[in-house]
Amino acid sequence: MHITCKKCGTATSIESNFEIKYFGCPNCRSLFEIKEELNFVKEFDYKSINPLLEIGKKGIIDGVEYEIISMLIKKFHAIHYWREYTLKSKDDNYLYLSESEGHWILLEEIPERYDVSRRYKTLTYNEISYDLYENTHCRVDSAYGFFDDKVPDIEIKIIEYIKPPYMVSIEKFGNVETTYFGRHFTKNEVKKAFNNPKLPGRYGVGSVQPFLFNFHNGILVFCSIAILILVTQLIVNKNRVETEVLSRNFSFTEYNNKDFVSESFTLQGASAPLTISINSEVDNSWANAQVALVNEITNEEEYANQDIEYYHGYTDGESWSEGGRNEEFNICGVGEGKYHLVITPQKQPDDTLNDRITVKAVWKSPSLWNFFISILIMGIALVIIFFANKNFESRRWENSDFSPF
- Residue 365's φ and ψ, nearest 5 degrees, are -70, 145
| Residue 137 within any structural domain of the chain | yes
Distance CA 236, CA 79 (A): 64
Distance CA 20, CA 2 (A): 11
Same domain membership, residue 163 and residue 40 = yes
**Terminal C-alpha separation, the chain:** 50
Same domain membership, residue 193 and residue 103 = yes
Residue 45 pLDDT: 80
**What's the length of the chain?**
405
Same domain membership, residue 270 and residue 155 = no
Same domain membership, residue 280 and residue 133 = no
Residue 340 pLDDT: 96
Same domain membership, residue 114 and residue 159 = yes
Same domain membership, residue 206 and residue 84 = yes
| Residue 122 within any structural domain of the chain | yes
Same domain membership, residue 278 and residue 156 = no
Residue 129 pLDDT: 96
Residue 49 pLDDT: 61
Q: Is there a contact between 75 and 60 (Cβ–Cβ < 8 Å)?
A: no
Q: Is there a contact between 83 and 100 (Cβ–Cβ < 8 Å)?
A: yes
| Residue 236 within any structural domain of the chain | no
Number of domains in the chain: 2
Same domain membership, residue 61 and residue 185 = yes
Q: Which helix (H) or strand (E) holds 356?
A: strand 356-363
| Residue 266 within any structural domain of the chain | yes
CA dihedral 259, 263, 269, 272 (to 10 degrees): -20
- Residue 349's φ and ψ, nearest 5 degrees, are -55, -35
Same domain membership, residue 267 and residue 350 = yes
Residue 216 pLDDT: 82
Closest CA to 145 of 83, 91, 65, 63: 83
pLDDT in tens, the chain (405 residues): 889 998 889 999 999 989 999 999 988 889 999 988 889 999 888 665 666 899 999 999 999 999 999 999 998 876 788 899 999 999 999 999 999 999 999 999 999 999 887 778 999 999 999 999 999 999 998 999 999 999 988 899 999 999 999 999 999 988 889 999 999 999 999 999 999 888 888 899 999 999 988 878 888 888 888 888 888 777 766 666 788 999 999 999 999 889 999 999 998 877 888 999 999 999 999 999 999 999 999 999 999 999 999 999 999 889 999 999 999 999 988 888 999 999 999 999 999 899 999 999 999 866 677 788 888 988 898 999 999 999 999 999 998 999 998
Same domain membership, residue 191 and residue 256 = no
What CATH code is carried by the domain that includes residue 349? Answer: 2.60.120.380
| Residue 130 within any structural domain of the chain | yes
Domain that holds residue 180: 2-210
Same domain membership, residue 59 and residue 180 = yes
| Residue 387 within any structural domain of the chain | no
| Residue 221 within any structural domain of the chain | no
Q: Which helix (H) or strand (E) holds 235?
A: helix 215-236
Same domain membership, residue 39 and residue 114 = yes
Q: What secondary structure, in 3-state letters, does 136-186 show?
A: EEEEEEEEEEEECCCCCCCCEEEEEEEECCEEEEEEEECCEEEEEEEEEEC
| Residue 48 within any structural domain of the chain | yes
pTM tops 0.85, yes or no: no
